[in-house]
Chain A
Amino acid sequence: MKVPIEWLKQYVDTSLEADEIGVKLTEIGHMQDGKIDNKEGITVMDLEVRQNRPDVLSIIGVARELSAIVQTKLKYPDLSDLPKAKANEIKIEVESFQSCYRFNTLVIKNLSSNPLPVQMVALLTAYGMPSINPIVDISNYVMIELGQPLHAFNLDSIEGTLVVRAATHDEEFTALGGKKLKLTPDDIVIADNRGVLALAGIIGGERAKVDNKTTDILLEAAVYNQASIRRTSARHGIRTEASTRLEKFLHPKGTEVALSRALNLYSQFCSGKAVGSTDLYYNEAKELKLSFSTSQVLKIGGVKLSINEIVSILNRLELKAKKKSAQLIEVSIPYFRTDLTIEEDLIEEVLRIHGYENIPAILPNMAPPKNIQFPYVDFEMTIRNFMTACGYSEQITAPLVQENSSALLPIRLENSLTKTKDMLRTTLRHGLEQSDKNWLKYGYPRIALFEVGKIYYQSNDEYKERRTLGVILHHKSGSYFDLKGVVEVLFEKLKRRPDDSLYSIVKIDKNAFYLEFDIEALINAETVDGREVLTEPPQQIFHDFSFIVSQDQAVGAIIDALKSISPLVYQVTLGEMPKMLKGGTKSVFIHIAFSNSNNNVNISNEDVEPVRKDIVSLLESKFSARVRK
């Protein structure tokens, strides 16, 4: 909201300079945006107006806020009485009060086209509205001054009955400026017997526009369903000073004030005369009264204020506050403050005018509640730390992707500005591959990356999110076993029983492998006991087993079988990579450490010998191995 300071000072007495005014308004919730400007001798300040304060989209609204701080009384602009008794010569109808809450009109005749005072036009221009002609300028001036949009129709152009109705499908309308629109039944229009005259609350039309020859007008001030205004404005891509105000919650009471003010200016500067008025107001809103317990200011605000101080602050904002008891105030909410509906709203009013800087700053002194153990937070952090310790660097990649390559059913978006990113990832692979490509450009010989993130998919008509670890290793002598080793240590470190169904390792190309690990299954996997530190080495006896088996025989199965053959088997490791031999066989070299699981009991050769024999016979019988003796 652009605020010409000279305009503001018409309503509030203050010696404050523009920049000081900016600081004060910012503190109470209307942030000064950008530099203070000077437009042809007029100082202009830009304020960021809060969504729920349409009253501040007016000079009088800003003045009211400022007067509450500087504590001077607001000077209201002059109003003229509307000719309530005399109806308009034009018949007016409102089709639905669901979409138009109040439609208030005034017919003014015999308007002159004398130029308006220079300062008035200059203020309007400084605000950002170019001057058109005196009649239009006055209606715009009142809109900026009071915040209620008005529209003037050329009375002579209106044919038959004026009706506020929904547009018909594909109904045509030429807006001011010549833009041709095709309307929909969701648009509200003001129309006469011939067709649409204005897109209600947004923009007038060419047909009934006011020009330099116009002497008689129908002036309209209305309040519509704000969501409808917002949607129509978005649908046709038209945002006007009127639509930015009417898409917010304006009180219908404002229409009569705006017409009274406009009439005052039209008679003052264009010697116009009101000949009739019509007011279609279906459900007149009652004045809202809130009772306000002053103890709330301390309870919610943490500030001790006397009841008199609170009453004074509220009255400065024109909220009519009356003491009801030692603790209780009754507050009448003026029509323009549509944002105030509950007691807490009043607490904010008191606190912001009292000044947020005057609220003390204290750390909460209540006993901290019991910690909520959220299972994944620590677990994921452990995985991240483990991966970095293994030399892998973390990436965070986009969950919205273009392609997915997994068996899972992806979740698609219904609306997305970027066509290339219209679904959620079902794997972390593509994001990490993209990272890998980028790291390659930096010339890294060994690229080791990971991401701890979610994948998303549909299953049984439900949307699922699953915490996942993705790892990529790109290195010329890197291998499948480098990633498998990561998996094995991860199981060990997290004390979970190894389970091959929880992860997958795929080859991306000659030098790159990708690992994906289901973190949620991992956290829920069977836990295994195990010490994290030892203070004495376990006594161990070692035996090597060298044997020849068929090339089809998976060595992993042999190792698993050996591990479970006796509790005395402590560790089973591969002595060297298996060597392929002629005749479809391979030689395998396995190294076993035997130890007593009870650390305090020593192990002897006599203990081990039967197990060693069992191992040999197992190798021979189950795996048809030829064991070298």
Chain B
Amino acid sequence: MNWLKQNYNLKLISLLAIVVYGAAFALSIYINQTEDKLLIHDVSRLFPDRVYEIVEGEEEAALVEAVKAAKENNLKISIGGARHSQGGHAFYQDSVFLDMSNYNKILKLDEKEKTIKVQSGVTWEQIQDYINPHGLAIKVMQSSNVFTVGGSLSSNVHGRDPQYGPLIETVKSFRLLKADGNVINVSRNENEELFELVIGGYGLFGVILDVTLELTDNEIYVSQTEKINYKDYPEYIIKQIANNDDVGLHFARLAATPDDLLNDMYMTTYRTIDKGDDRYPTNEDDYEELVELNEEQNVLRDKFFFGLSRKYDWAKNLVWDLQQKLYAEKEEGEVVSRNNAMRPPIEFLEYDSDKDTDILQEYFIPVDHFEEFVDGLRKIVKEDDLNLMNVTVRYTPKHNEGYLTYAKEDTLALVLLFNHELSDEGIAHMKLSTQKIVNQALELNGRYYLTYQLFPSQDQIRKAYPKIESFFKRKLEYDPNERFMNNFYERYAK
């Protein structure tokens, strides 16, 4: 009897404990996730700002309403997509923050014309999921697919397909919600000045509502990874990659390891194969399996190793060696669809330590000056003791469209991933080193990418982008009250 009663009590206690603890756990996670919503930051978590209000416009009417209300109450407006820009381009203190991520419907796919019309909060991943069954693929996007179309247009991004320059080349038209609350069509024939100002305009001219983009075929590629001396790379690019129709995607990596810092180089090229090729899938099932979209795997494992190499030099060397072995073994001759090649893993990069952060930078260097730049960069990284984690290189051909173009001649774009301390000294140190790297780029007639930190000086931005002054002037013409505001504009326009 007594035993029975005890047993009953035990069960009751257990049940109660599980229920209470479970609820508390869920609540804690919930609060942790939603806490301090008005404090907006980008993925690097540098320089957050508290905004006045967040508007999550799912409908166009709500966005129009928000713009009109901001005008009446004389509030600034900032616009955010996936918030992967890293200089406060997507938010501003005490502003009405338009979170575009819920404005994310796919509106129309035209298979014959190979175009798609989407709302600007749509991510590349959503588009890939949608068009993959139709045998179509994106022409230009970043090297991964987590970004929104609106954010990508506003930075005029570029990717790994050497046939294309920046995204603007593949945009047919879009609709823009202006500071006065009116909505207009923008294309190469209609409001054409805005076409070049808004794309690459960092949200300063209005809210991009929906966008029509060109698509291409979801080709089948075979990949090849080779080692190359970085000094030979420019020649290789011009001869083998540029204007070479069968190259679908191409990128290279430079070692960020202490042992071979910016010396060792591997490049990966995806070349188109046609039905006749013996590596092309022979039957329907194989084909289906090949084009099915991959999900990212081994996130935690990669996160762990990446975490180690953030801290230790030996781990950097180890990871680099392992990577090259894997590439050499596995990717040699791997057959892959364009869509799958255009969604490489990225989640493992997510990092949120309270004391340090990972930041990106990108430099566009005229092909001929690549070697000089790499040598100069190596010197700065060593002298300033920078924690360089990863370097990728892509070819970005010359382009003319767009107000703030970053490749006025054929360039090699170097993407640098640094880890640095979040302390004031850590930031000041990184800022100084960044200015040195920017100088190095400017001396070689190169540019830096505006979408990252606001470290470069007033002088440097004006040298890199001589049209920036008139860009800011146009901004004032279209938006005299500076309704659309962000930290980038505030830092450099005054």
Q: Do A and B bind each other?
A: no
